[in-house]
Structure 1
Amino acid sequence: MNRSILLSSETAARHKHTDLSFDVVIVGAGIAGCTAARLFALEGLRVALVEHHAKADAYKQLCTHFIQPSATPTIRRLGLDCLIEEAGAIRNSIDIWTRYGWIGNVSPVDKDGIELFGYNVQRRTLDPILRRLAVTTPGVTSFPGCHVQRLVEQQGQVKRVELAGMDSAVLETRLLVGADGRNSPLATLAGIRAVSTLNTRFGASAAYRGVRLVRGTCSQMWMRGAEMGYIFPNDDGITVVAYMSTKDAFDEFHLSPRDSLTRAMASFPDAPDLSTAIPEGRVLMVKDYPNLSGRPSARNIAFIGDALMSLDPLPGVGCGFAFQTAEWLVDALASALRDNRPLRGALNCYARTVSRKLYGHRFFVRDMARRRKFNVLDRLAFAAAAQDDWASRHLHNFAARLNGPGQFLAPQAVLRMLWIRLSRPASSSAQRDAPV
């Protein structure tokens, strides 16, 4: 059998001759699903991991490949950090430019003042490593090339999950987890609808070799009015370039995506010259990408990763939140599953964690996705960050999702940023005529 198939003949035989009763059935073997599968199994639970792709090297293509520092503790808990660093993953940091100047590469820090980092790693590198780590964890049974065909409920709870595809099986479970991505088919099957909000931007991204950075070696981001640009150095000598603007510019951009991307990036201060770089693959473009968010749980079904919340890619939170929501679910549910206790209270605990840790960030992402310009608070934060190291680190901590909106906009923090703005000279890299 082809080694690219996750399910070995030995495992296939096990499916036919053993009890298909699991503590947890997880649908989707991306970042969130594999994270939850491994962590649940490490807690001594029996886990079924269902994935519609049959090949072990399948990966998500539309991604910034940028993992926020907030997810690094989860990555370490998985034992994934050493594996992806051996494969070339880059410990990331980011320079941000606005009309007020460069904010600079100031690493975010934790509550003890220790500098933190995330990772830049291509999904074609990350996804197979994480999936292999998950499916080889004792307690995880893999069902690749399969999808959920039917849910069987008893007394308002999903008791059995019927699979179709490469393997037809009926799985019994106490907890069903949706980790099957944006527009989750499992949520649709369960009759759970996501809430959609407007995103005014389109996005374009492409991979290159031989990109020579003008500033340093870290990731870079430009925010100029409605236009946003990104440079993400990655493993294997690949640099991912992304550009976003409002949808009224899509048709003209789409006429010649490669040339349009080169011209757009060349217009930013200190941007690398893409005309001398070597393209890898095509330019990926997305015109309509509304913000989607659903309920953390319903009945005995829980949602994690993009199946829970899939937002505008501008802040680069998707991968990080996939790792984190999976961990929060495991921490809330593992003991109840292990002790055979009712799950309702644990699921409510998970929902409260999601609300407390994510909904403030969701509000900010949704709000910026609707706007073409910075608001007053945006201008204050970016201007102060370009003038002062404390303000720069304060902004980086929020952008890295280490601090929530409450800490970022605490009255004392706003007053300190205002004092910096009024008392310090402007950054030498400011460009006053640039739009905001």
Structure 2
Amino acid sequence: MKRKLIAAIGVAVMITGIAACGSSKKDDNKAGGGSAAKSSASSITVWLTVDAQHNWPELVKAADDALVAKHPGLKVNHEYYAWPDKNAKLDAVLATDKAPDVVEMGNTEMVAYMAEGAFAQIDPSKFDNSAAWLDGLKQSVTYDGQVYGVPYYAAARIATWRKDIAAAAGVTTTPKTWTELTGDLDKIQAKEGAKFSAWYQPTRDWYAAMSFVYDAGGAIAKQSGGQWKSSLEDPAAIQGLTAWKNAEAKYMHGDLTKDESDRYIVYGQGKSAMIYAPGWEAPSAADPKFDKTGGKLKTNLVNFVMPGPSGKALPVFLGGSDLAIPTKSKNQDLAAEWINDFTDTKGQQGLMGKGNLPNNNTQLATLKADPASAVTAQAAEISWFVPTAPGWGTVEKQNTLQDMLQSIATGKKSVQQAAKDADAAIDKVINVKN
């Protein structure tokens, strides 16, 4: 997932993702991070995003120090990139012999690079907590049965509403089921009127909409015989899309052509009660720069796990990053060691201290006991990930899902027709390498 830079707004709760390392594609020559081997290299180069540079530079330094302690005299060089710039620079350098040794990738960005053989295969057993990696993160670094990355940290979506608005409508507890949620939203909508959004849910936010598809037992696409086929017309997917459409029609009274990029700003304007979003968005809306409610957001925001129509918690898309080792790296084993030093149990603990989710269920369990992180930790337990198909990057670039959702919400197309058209568009590219 390509994350927006949130360091500038000083948000404490940021959730992103992780990175992977690799080596030769032969099983007996995988890059590993478990033991130090002698190396003649004088330096390695690590590319990270500005998230790490601005928010946990001490954790980066700790990984550097751990690697240098095993390889005295080694220098770890860092280059930091904003998300919009990184991939263009990476594509250019991968065409040369100057590839970095470690690169941070958004987790949905990984698929196309893995399919092209740009990243080296790794042996996950060489990395801390790999047996307990969160399912959604493990999927993001796996292609064709092989692993090309190491989960770093994750972002889970949660529901947040204003308890003052809920109380004014006679609602004093957070909902545990879909029936309770919709009943409460009905009361809020009736109390606040037709111009108010009981639930502000941007139409083009496909991460949220697809959660309804997976909740109903559907999927964006399915693999059979080595080929992927879009499955949005399947009955389960239609059921999920219909539930999403009905909620949009009842509770979303904002612009039906918008995406989620400024959702936290819109929420700060005070014209909606609830959002379903990454954990950093509601605190961002409460920042004085964005809160237009006279300070009401800061003391009235309440988080809860989003219930789904199925009767279970709504499956979440786990956003995040992966650290990968380019195949052209000349120092793959050192790169693997650095990644393990950065993402090991101690490193994950440091990231948790910065408000992130860890990459594994073992440490995630400790967050459930903390009221400040319990909701996000619980939400992360049930997750889904995009199809790990060679052409998935093209699907994202073409905005096929966003356009489908907008056409449904605006009434331009029926759910069935929009799904049929989206399936046709996806099937043209999903099996074609980018």
User: What TM-score bracket applies, with the shorter chain setting the length?
Assistant: under 0.3
Question: Quick check: which one's strand share is greater?
Answer: 1
Higher relative contact order (CA 8 A, sep 6+): 2
Q: TM-score, normalised by structure 2?
A: 0.23
Q: TM-score, normalised by structure 1?
A: 0.23
